[in-house]
Structure 1
Amino acid sequence: MRFETLQAASGGLRGPERRVIAVLRAGVAGGTALEALKQDLGEALGAGRAAACLAGFAGMRDIIRRHGWHVPVVLPEDAQGWSEDELSLARFVLAASEQQRDVALAEASFLVSPMGLLPLLEAGMQAGLPLLCEECRARLALQGPMGRA
Structure 2
Amino acid sequence: MHHTPIRLSESELRRPELRVVFLLRAWQGDVETQADVWNDLCRSMGQARARACLQAFEQMLGLLVKHGWQTLTVLPRDTDGVSADEAAIARFVMAATEQKREAALAQAGFLVSPAALLPLVCAASRFGLPLLCEDCRARVRSEVVRPRLN
State TM-score, norm by structure 2: 0.89
Report Cα offsets for 1:77-99 as digits up to 9, x if no partner: 01001111100100010011110
Aligned equivalents of 2:94 and 2:23: distance in 1?
A: 14
Indicate the larger mover: 25-34 or 67-76: 25-34
Q: What code does the residue aligned with 1:27 have?
A: W
| Unpaired segments ≥5 residues, structure 2 | 144-150
**Structure 1: which 4+ aligned runs deviate by more than 4 Å?**
none
Query: Secondary structure of 1:62's match?
Result: helix
The C-alpha deviation readout for 1:2-51, integer Å capped at 9, x for no partner, is 86411124x12111100000100010113221111110011001001111
Name the residue aligned to 1:139: 139
Paired AA for residue 62 in structure 1: G
Provide the residue aligned with 2:146 in structure 1.
none
Return the alpha-carbon distance in structure 2 between the equivalents of residues 142 and 8 of structure 1.
24
Q: Does 1:70 align with 2:77?
A: no
1:52 alignment counterpart: 52
2:119 is aligned to 119
Can you list the C-alpha shifts for 1:96-135, whole angstroms capped at 9, x where unaligned?
1110101111111111011110000010011000001101
Q: 1:90: which partner in 2?
A: 90
Partner residue, 1:7: 8
Q: Where does residue 22 of structure 1 map in the other structure?
A: 22
In structure 2, what is the Cα distance between the partners aligned to 1:59 and 1:128?
A: 12
RMSD: 1.5
Aligned length: 141
Identity of aligned residues (%): 45
Q: Which amino acid aligns with 2:73?
A: V
